[in-house]
Amino acid sequence: MIDLGKYNVLGIQVNAIDYEVAVEQVIAAAQENRPFAVTALAVHGIMTGVMDDTHRYRLNHFDMVAPDGQPVRWALNRLHKAKLSDRVYGPTLMLKLCEQAAREALPIYLYGSREEVLIKLFENLRKRFPKLVVAGMQPSRFRRVSVEEKNGIVENIRASGTRMVFVGLGCPRQEVWVYEHREALSMPLIAVGAAFDFHAGLLAQAPPLLQRYGLEWLFRLLREPRRLWRRYFYLNPAYLTLLTMQLLRLRRFDASTGLAPTEELRYG
């Protein structure tokens, strides 16, 4: 088990942990009915916090920010000598949590994406984990919701009897949702990005070799060039440049400089 605490990567506090610790901490929070905000960040997720002071504040108030991307794991190893041998990949973390939730009889809830994705995801999860209880699921509205609608979402989730919520709204909307619902929903809220599409069988994952060498972005870019080219062609070089500056101590990234949100965005 590896749990070295949080370390600064471009001003974002990232947990140097492994899957075993991540699962243990989330399950413990679910059993104890306490708030626990979780996300797994790759380069894009880190850069959303670098470029937005308010979002950096949100991320740095999460209970767990797992190193989803290999470049984030490499940063922890190079900057802070974490010696992590593997990342904590969001889609894999989701499966490990579902497996343990099935063992512990802890119901889960699926929030986000589209109805057809949720249906396929539900079917595939039940096939893989027959004892898993899916207490409910709710697709995204793909817009900001009213205060009344947000309260309704909270009540629906509470009434379902779930003990943890997987959130698939895409980065950074899912992290905003988790941050804004952490206290209202006293349970683990886990932002898992593209995991819904992957596990529903609607989006292919990169081959293991590309994942191991941090080239998952290239695979996804070739699959969805129109949607993703700006993200990777601008953010990847920016990440490497800023990381080099942090490594050489040419620039200091202060994790305490974020700005607290002044209003809720209420993504639904």
The predicted-structure confidence for 7-19, as pLDDT tens digits, reads as follows 999 999 999 999 9
pLDDT above 90 covers what percent of the chain?
A: 87
| Across 70-76, average pLDDT | 97
Does residue 131 belong to any structural domain of this protein? yes
Mean pLDDT over each residue of the chain, to the nearest integer: 95
What band does 232 get if pLDDT is binned at 50, 70 and 90?
confident
| Across 60-64, average pLDDT | 98
Does residue 239 belong to any structural domain of this protein? no
pTM for this model (two decimals)? 0.95
The predicted-structure confidence for 85-143, as pLDDT tens digits, reads as follows 999 999 999 999 999 999 999 999 999 999 999 999 999 999 999 999 999 999 999 99
For 88, the domain range is 3-199
On whether the CB atoms of residues 98 and 125 are closer than 8 A, the answer is yes
The predicted-structure confidence for 137-187, as pLDDT tens digits, reads as follows 999 999 999 999 999 999 999 999 999 999 999 999 999 999 999 999 999
Does residue 97 belong to any structural domain of this protein? yes
| Across 246-266, average pLDDT | 95
Tally of domains within the chain: 1
pLDDT, position 228:
79
Does residue 175 belong to any structural domain of this protein? yes
For residue 204, pLDDT over 90 is answered with no
Does residue 89 belong to any structural domain of this protein? yes
On whether the CB atoms of residues 258 and 8 are closer than 8 A, the answer is no
Does residue 238 belong to any structural domain of this protein? no
For residue 222, pLDDT over 90 is answered with no
Q: What is the CATH number of the domain that holds 85?
A: 3.40.50
Does residue 160 belong to any structural domain of this protein? yes
| Burial group, residue 215, by CB count within 10 angstroms (0-12, 13-18, 19+) | middle
Does residue 206 belong to any structural domain of this protein? no
